[in-house]
Structure 1
Amino acid sequence: MSSNPSPGVTTAFLFPGQGGFDGEALRRAKERHPQIGRVFERLDTVTEELYGSRISEVLFGERKADLRDLLDNDPWASQVAIYGAGLAAYEILAAQGVAPDVLAGHSLGEITALVAAGAFSVEDGVRIVARRVAVIERQGGVDGRMVALAASAERTRKLLELVDEPLLAVATENHDEQTVVSGPAGILDRVVAIAGQLDVGAIEIDTPFPFHTPALAPAAPEFAAYVRKLDQRPLNRPVYSPILQRYYEPDDALAELLAEHFTRPVGFAAAVRHLRETGAEVFVEAGGRAALSKLVAKVTDGSAVRSLPTLAVTGGRLALDGTLDALREAGLAAPERGGLAELLAPSVPADLFAAYWSERGHMVLELVRTELDAFRKSTEGGDAAEPEPRPAAAAGSEPAAEAAPAPAPEAPAVSGSGSRPEGYGRDRLFEELRTLYAEALEYPEDVFEDEVQLEAELGVDSVKQVELLSRVSSRYGLPPRESGFRLATYNTMGKITDFVLQQLNDQGAHAPASATG
């Protein structure tokens, strides 16, 4: 097959690298998704062979292991855990009928992406990850680390010029305001000190070695020689490399390219922009934590992109649940058994229905939306009595606002500029909305910051967001949302505040109907 996806890419799976492991989320998901147990059973056969230890016992035993424990005690286990969690998330999504158009990985995650696309077996993927650790340890482990600086890549390079150390390198360009630096530990201490003097924030990355630095060049040949002996197979899905800044091609010698990863930087921001420009609208982080989904949100800020985590705990809830809900609503995943699937096709096997929904579910949902919209217009016409409000959770639909409340008090005067009402600015509206959302979701108010992502960071699924927007519409007497309204565009508290404020301004700035909603 061609390595490049066909025009109209819509869904990209992203596999995390260093730091991409959430032990608590993985344990929670394992209780409900058998794919996790099956993936780690395959990993166990290799880790037992190589280390005399089963990775499943390390991660799912009585003692709960987090990433810091793994890094301190078993560096190999930290890398296999990240790899395994990514594959497990991929298998869960595939079992739900989600079919990505392209795969991409962040650093170590490129190995996971290639295995998910069939380039190597799951077991050989473990061997590759393990050998990656072993060859670096044989070079003395390279006494170094990685630090994320709150600065652009250009500013970071200028900072590194002040230190003038050849083994220091820009390892990753995550977004315009975050760049990761890799190199010897002592030299990085100087970099962090200089950054502090320049008011540039610095956060250490959870990683056993300083990847993507010239210091690892001596380890690359041995690694390439080992991978060359493994069975490389054709890709069954396109894989885009943020390191190579291109798609992997059928004639690529993966052993040599993976060895180059030791020293070449990761251009994650550029990769996300490229995928977005070629049509990607939904980015799903297949793996632990929610780091990549947050980075995507930063890189694509202002565009209508869904950025969804999986094996992370956000707002006390497993992010995977909300992500699957969102994918089902978008027609990208099969409906749950016992729900629409049971209603439409009770005798069809689950895997067959999932495959059908993956290919044609979007057409079914589009038909339902069209019919519902026509039905709503027909029931709202004429002199018929006003219909009962529709439930907010209708699958895949955007409900009209609830019935307007009693007449509001007289609106405040509008300033001469013509839009914003005097005495009712954005700050006041933001505080009111934050209180409303906090009370409805039973979250502390302080978690609702201006840029916090409701779904990716707080786990508020799309159905709940529709319900909350309906409450907001009712409280402020807003008109029904237009048919082109896209929930994904208003994914933060700040964007919701701006949307509501604009609606208030457009209709003459009605005051709220009540103090409590």
Structure 2
Amino acid sequence: MKYQQVGTTFKAVDAVARERFGNAVSAVLFDGVPLTADDLVEQPGWVSQLAVYASAVAAWRILRDNGLRPRILVGHSLGEIPALVAAGVFSVEDGARVVAERLRTLEEADLPTGRMAALTLDGQRTRRLLDLLDDPAVVVAAENHDRQTVISGPESSVRAALRVARELNAGGLLLASPFAFHNPALEPVRAPFAARIGGLLRQAPDTDVYSPILRRAYRADDDLAALLAEHLVRPVDFRGTVRGLYEAGVTTFVEAGGLGALGRCVARVLPEADDLTIRSTFTLEADGRLGVERAVAGLAEDPAPDTFERFWAAYGTRLVARVQAGLAASAVPLAGPAEPAPATAAAPSPSSVEPAQTGMPTPNGTPPRTGAPVAPSPAPAGAPDREELFATVRALYAQALEYPEEVFTEEVLLEAELGIDSVKQVELLTRVTGRYGLPPSDVRLSDHDTVGKVVDLLHAHLVSGGVSSAAA
């Protein structure tokens, strides 16, 4: 491995996994074919939970060993456990034992099946939606930003909430969480879990650790076992935490973990901020390098946002509104090939909203669309074919919207079914058409309300010879 911290962290976590579950996490993750995030959530709960924990701790150790000295540490839900380890409160092994006992206590409680779902609504609108259901078993579990609130409760009730959300033109996704976390229904588990971890050795934190659940920093005299057990029944206020940190002067956020979802949440909590620096670790950058390399390189001197980031922060909203108005006013069909655009870098690999998240129960892959050409003309030599175009566009939409890729089937309606508003659709459509040299003014939003239709547009433009292979 390039980073020895990964190997040493997983070695410590493997020892606990064998102790508690009779097998090593590494044996599942690293032996044989590498697992994707979707593959991981299909594994037993202890594998995915310990893998998420170990990844966060390993990322932190790489950053620490390369000079990172944070002002404050913050965890999200399960992430509070590796945050406490990073602050020196628990050893790596004892942090893994907390994760393991949390899962074992829940499994042994034999609770009714619970689910979680992410809605593309803010917390206030989500609560109003739940009021319509009049089902107290479904609660707000986490507020991530103004366009993402997580609910939890009995599976049938959560699915009912999703149906109501879609009727109200809001998007929603079932999460592959093994339990309905952050819900008062888990109250019977709280005391047994606290008892199991009460004897673990702990130290006073050497760095402040702020809890979005407790809405305060941990203190040296806290009863950690009781507080960690309380996490099971209390909601996460990540949105409020990020805004509070920013107002206190924190402008650099470095995510220690595998998916980059929290960094994107920070950007959505603070869209108006023009002085943010957000770094990831185990995500791939556009050039194929791990994000941790960029994060480490920036530790010595925190760089200012680049020119485009400053421009977009200042003018992005107005620019999107102008493009939207132009598209709405245009009734001109595609007039032919456009001038090729300059070559651009490939889109970064997408990631899920949550480590254990899957999409709505829609088919995976890219089934053929009704009415699609049976045998499309081949694109010019060197240009991507339709299948490659679909994969690229789907990845771009998934990353920008924090949805799993499988949500974006050929025919799913972007607004009616996924709740993606017209402003965001314009932004994405402008990005992909510009990427392939197609003038956005020639494209009508109403005619391209699915990813499949966007791909059809690009493919037709490619076949016409109007896009160079470099632009693709």
What is the distance in 1 between the residues matched to 2:104 and 2:7?
Answer: 26
- Give the alignment of 1:116-265 within 5 angstroms: 116-265=86-235
What is the distance in 2 between the residues matched to 1:397 and 1:285?
Answer: 17
- Give the alignment of 1:58-97 within 5 angstroms: 58-97=28-67
Q: CA deviation at 1:320?
A: 2.1
What is the distance in 1 between the residues matched to 2:302 and 2:183?
Answer: 41
Cα contact 1:71–1:208 (8 A) shared by 2: no
What is the distance in 2 between the residues matched to 1:44 and 1:310?
Answer: 22
Q: CA deviation at 1:442?
A: 5.2
SS in 2 for 1:180: strand
Q: CA deviation at 1:249?
A: 1.1
Q: Which has the larger radius of gyration?
A: 1
Deviation string, structure 1 residues 139-177 (Cα, Å, up to 9, x no partner):
215411110001111111111112222221100000112
Q: CA deviation at 1:313?
A: 2.5
What is the distance in 1 between the residues matched to 2:250 and 2:220?
Answer: 22
Change (3 A) 1:63 1:251: same
Partner of 1:35: 5
Amino acid paired to 2:213:
I
Q: 2:345 aligns with which of 438, 441, 449?
A: 441
* Paired residue total: 337
Give the fraction of aligned pairs with identical amino acids, expressed as a percent.
Answer: 39
TM-score, length basis structure 1: 0.60
Partner of 2:453: none
Partner of 2:238: 268
1:322 matched to 2:226? The reply is no
SS in 1 for 2:126: helix
SS in 1 for 2:61: helix
SS in 1 for 2:135: coil
Change (3 A) 1:435 1:257: farther
Change (3 A) 1:305 1:92: same
Q: CA deviation at 1:210?
A: 1.2
1:49 matched to 2:49? The reply is no
Q: CA deviation at 1:218?
A: 0.6
SS in 1 for 2:294: helix
Deviation string, structure 1 residues 72-93 (Cα, Å, up to 9, x no partner):
3310111100100000000010
Deviation string, structure 1 residues 207-231 (Cα, Å, up to 9, x no partner):
2111001121111100011121111
SS in 1 for 2:42: helix
Partner of 1:103: 73
Cα contact 2:276–2:305 (8 A) shared by 1: no
Cα contact 2:137–2:154 (8 A) shared by 1: yes
SS in 2 for 1:441: coil
- Give the alignment of 1:348-387 within 5 angstroms: none
Q: CA deviation at 1:452?
A: 8.2
Q: 2:250 aligns with which of 263, 270, 280?
A: 280
Partner of 1:403: none
Q: 2:264 aligns with which of 294, 307, 314?
A: 294
Change (3 A) 1:451 1:42: closer
Deviation string, structure 1 residues 282-328 (Cα, Å, up to 9, x no partner):
10110010100000000111211111111123434422223333334
What is the distance in 2 between the residues matched to 1:177 and 1:196?
Answer: 14
Q: CA deviation at 1:56?
A: 1.3
TM-score, length basis structure 2: 0.65
Amino acid paired to 2:296:
L
Partner of 1:312: 283
What is the distance in 2 between the residues matched to 1:114 and 1:200?
Answer: 36
Cα contact 2:82–2:95 (8 A) shared by 1: yes
SS in 2 for 1:172: strand
Q: CA deviation at 1:397?
A: 12
Amino acid paired to 2:53:
Y
Cα contact 1:35–1:91 (8 A) shared by 2: yes
What is the distance in 1 between the residues matched to 2:340 and 2:91?
Answer: 48
Q: Cα RMSD between the aligned structures?
A: 3.3
Partner of 2:442: none
Change (3 A) 1:398 1:65: closer
SS in 2 for 1:203: strand
Deviation string, structure 1 residues 222-273 (Cα, Å, up to 9, x no partner):
0011121111211011000100111111111111111110010000000001
What is the distance in 2 between the residues matched to 1:171 and 1:220?
Answer: 16
SS in 1 for 2:299: helix
Cα contact 1:168–1:214 (8 A) shared by 2: no
- Any unmatched runs of 5+ in structure 1? 1-30, 332-395, 400-419, 454-492, 498-515
What is the distance in 2 between the residues matched to 1:142 and 1:265?
Answer: 20
- Give the alignment of 1:398-417 within 5 angstroms: none
Change (3 A) 1:235 1:152: same
What is the distance in 1 between the residues matched to 2:254 and 2:147?
Answer: 22
What is the distance in 2 between the residues matched to 1:242 and 1:184?
Answer: 24
SS in 2 for 1:145: strand
SS in 2 for 1:302: coil
What is the distance in 1 between the residues matched to 2:346 and 2:49?
Answer: 36
Partner of 1:356: none
Change (3 A) 1:188 1:72: same
SS in 1 for 2:88: coil
Cα contact 2:277–2:305 (8 A) shared by 1: no
What is the distance in 1 between the residues matched to 2:104 and 2:396?
Answer: 43
Q: CA deviation at 1:199?
A: 0.5
What is the distance in 2 between the residues matched to 1:447 and 1:75?
Answer: 28
Cα contact 1:112–1:125 (8 A) shared by 2: yes
SS in 2 for 1:244: coil
Cα contact 2:67–2:299 (8 A) shared by 1: no
What is the distance in 2 between the residues matched to 1:211 and 1:451?
Answer: 25
Amino acid paired to 1:232:
R
